[in-house]
Amino acid sequence: MMSRVEPVLLLVGAGHAHLGVIDDWRKHGPPAARTVLVEPLDAMHYSGMVPGWIAGEYRASELQIPLALLVRQAGIEWHKASLVAMDPVARIARLDDGSDVGFDICSLATGGAGQAGTVLGSDPRLLDIRPLPGFVSRWQALREIGPKHRRIAVVGGGAGGVELAFGFRNSEHWSDCAVVLVAGEHGLLPDHGAPVRHRARHELAAQGIEVLSAEAQFADGELVADGRSLEPLDLVVAAVGSGAPDWPRESGLPTDADGFIEVDGHQRVCGFPQILAAGDVARRTDRHVGHAGVHAVYSGPVLAKNLRRMLAGKAPRRSYSPRFMDFYLLNTCRGESILSYAGLGLQGRWLRRLKDWLDTRWIRRFTVRGAS
């Protein structure tokens, strides 16, 4: 039973799935509840356009979704802070500004954490892609330093690492910089089909990007892979996958071995059905759903419907099932994209136009105008 006349729904993090919830409230009216968003940043950053931004295809403002007006139009109260801990039994969230927020239902979409330091070791030249807003502002400052920095290592052989290698190779600020992609022991794009790997390898070679299928690590101030030093390097960019933040485990939420919050098919946290989690911070226990923006995006509308039902005292009914398994459009940052879908690997300018259309259409959906 709800503890207050008007139940409190707490949304933590303006992750992709929560944008779907905010959009639903905005379009269809908020449910009979007080909805509070806890998010420290003014804007949500969209990762899919970051490599294109590095290459000068987009401005920084084009990858950002400003939250203030969106949230206001959705009838949501915004608490500009970060969650640092929660008491899932008492249903209280602890924030970094020292306040506590009680809730009846809570939904978490706080994304993954950076793990570059853990995987590679520490070094002042290390630039982690996560959290994305931190990466964007650090690269904005670094790129102004300009031509001094001419050799970059990108660590990570997944789609993010490959796209970042293309982005930096075609950087508008560090033009003609040399890029080495250290793909890890599983090599290039291990989760994608052979035709995609073939296309990517061919394009990387055509752009003069060296690829190493080895693990990288800092040792005595040098980046080492396959037993040899990759120095001299001016910058080491890490796209080594999402790690989990510490607070879920420390707060007593059930987590998998990697620290991601375990949820059921309705995104409800196992053992705490009034708390839900979606996107990279969550791990589905009923089926495999990878950590990708596309899944976080498409789980949003489902989450919105389920939250509405739960706020009305009903059980959630819907479950998000991935429609686009392995749907990726890699930006080569030279006017083309490589499509990875169901084992297929296609490349072309029309795919780049398709990617741009999909990305900008998604961003535009949340770009609202009105009196501020």
Ligand X SMILES: Cc1cc2nc3c(=O)[nH]c(=O)nc-3n(C[C@H](O)[C@H](O)[C@H](O)COP(=O)(O)OP(=O)(O)OC[C@H]3O[C@@H](n4cnc5c(N)ncnc54)[C@H](O)[C@@H]3O)c2cc1C
Q: How far is CA 195 from the centre of its chain?
A: 26
Closer by beta carbon to ligand X, 42 or else 264:
42
Closer by beta carbon to ligand X, 101 or else 294:
294
Q: Which of 8, 11, 15, 189 binds ligand X (CB under 6 A)?
A: 15
Give, in order, the Cα–Cα distances in Å from 192 to each of 48, 211, 350, 371.
17, 17, 21, 46
Give me the least distance between CB of 132 and ligand X, in Å please.
6
CA end-to-end distance (rounded Å), the chain? 38
Q: Which of 105, 239, 310, 333 binds ligand X (CB under 6 A)?
A: 239
Q: Which of 9, 21, 44, 63 binds ligand X (CB under 6 A)?
A: 44
Closer by beta carbon to ligand X, 222 or else 264:
264
Give me the least distance between CB of 219 and ligand X, in Å please.
25
Does residue 16 bind ligand X (CB under 6 A)? yes
Please choose, out of 37-45, 57-65, 215-223, 309-317, the segment that lies near ligand X by the rule CB under 6 A: 37-45
Does residue 10 bind ligand X (CB under 6 A)? no
Does residue 47 bind ligand X (CB under 6 A)? yes
Site string for ligand X, 274-303 (x = CB under 6 A): -----xxx---------xxxx-x-------
Binding site for ligand X (CB under 6 A): 12-17, 38-41, 44, 47-48, 50-51, 82-83, 109-111, 129, 160, 163-164, 239, 279-281, 291-294, 296, 328
